[in-house]
Structure 1
């Protein structure tokens, strides 16, 4: 079996359209810079990981790195857009691993582990990375056709990850759980995740510049 295709589902970092939960304390322009840094770091990490191909599945207008393919997100709900990302990039016999742009602490080792698991005969049929907010940060499928289950699962809830795991297992899939990572949604998330990134990362620098530290009120 070939190395997996890696998909990055992302939204172009335009003010007012991304990271709106950072506002306040951030302005829409600051939030967009945070999103741009997170996306750039994520794309850099995926570029260094082994993959049969790399696809940026985009909502909006953004220039993909050299050697990347581009797809436009298709569908209304996030569940449909996730399922369509797998379907629109599917090649028979090629596993697919999808991540988003909200975990800039992602390391190439995470993706290499998913590749090894999905490429091992007798290994798991799927890998799922739970997020601390109850969602998930990655889904890898030996057969991307199984992503159709995502169309029926409510996203952005505290039970999205658990429901995804249940749905995959109901299809008879063997699922390996990846390490739990924290998504960047709020200012507190941004500061916590920045500490997990290399100091020279775009995201860590952007957070230091554009995300005010929480104010602690003495009592």
Structure 2
């Protein structure tokens, strides 16, 4: 496979759950409670959509929703940023990402990465002009972004999603395909109480809580 600069513009898929108390950011609940965890989740989603809208034209962004597809926050954010909404399909995370990345070139992110910026998102999109894949490896062993020209099935099956070997497994699969990988930066996700404190100490802060 060869990535060519003449490929069409890169799309961005954002996979997001509705901020339902008790259903999101469950690892934060023992420290701050279900309601606060849901508010953190909502704040992260607002941040992610603002970053995406600042980096890419609205026509290239799709919000893929789960848990409650017509949740008021989804409706509000899609209208504010004039982006499309789609229901996430059935299946595990790998299958949902594969479908969101088809057709390529496309990138997929969640809404858990507080250090994602418009400049970094643009760098990832630009990397696909000269590489077959782009990732933002995460400190926990996963990744915060995956971008591909082609969503090859081997990248989405028999991977322990949420585990510490996701990025390593993905690198191995990409190498087996002979695909060139760009990793513009390392990121971290907000999953645990200590991550929440880290974000609160950062310049980004937590808006809309």
Contact 1:39 1:104 in 2 (8 A): no
Output the TM-score relative to the length of structure 1.
0.82
Which of 82, 86, 90 is 1:71 aligned to? 86
1:87-138 Cα offsets, whole Å, 9 max, x none, are 3xx2xxx51011111002210011110121113xxx1111011111111000
- 1:209 alignment counterpart: none
Alpha-carbon distance between aligned partners in 1 of 2:36 and 2:173, rounded to the nearest angstrom? 38
Contact 1:86 1:147 in 2 (8 A): no
Mapping 1:10-89, distance limit 5 Å: 10-51=16-57, 53-59=60-66, 60-61=68-69, 62-63=74-75, 64-66=77-79, 67-87=82-102
Alpha-carbon distance between aligned partners in 2 of 1:195 and 1:2, rounded to the nearest angstrom? 39
In the alignment of these two chains, the number of paired residues is: 194
Q: Once the 2 structures are TM-superposed, how far is the Cα of residue 194 of structure 1 from its aligned partner?
A: 3.2
State which structure, 1 or 2, has the greater radius of gyration over its C-alpha atoms: 1
Q: Once the 2 structures are TM-superposed, how far is the Cα of residue 74 of structure 1 from its aligned partner?
A: 1.1
Could you tell me which runs of 5 or more consecutive residues in structure 2 were left unpaired when the two chains were aligned.
1-6
Contact 2:63 2:78 in 1 (8 A): no
Q: Secondary structure at the match of 1:152?
A: coil
- Pair 198,159 (structure 1): closer, same or farther in 2 beyond 3 Å: same
Q: Stretches of 4+ moved more than 6 A in 1?
A: none
Alpha-carbon distance between aligned partners in 1 of 2:36 and 2:153, rounded to the nearest angstrom? 34
Alpha-carbon distance between aligned partners in 2 of 1:192 and 1:16, rounded to the nearest angstrom? 22
Could you tell me which runs of 5 or more consecutive residues in structure 1 were left unpaired when the two chains were aligned.
207-219
Cα RMSD (Å) of the superposition? Answer: 1.7
Contact 1:3 1:50 in 2 (8 A): no
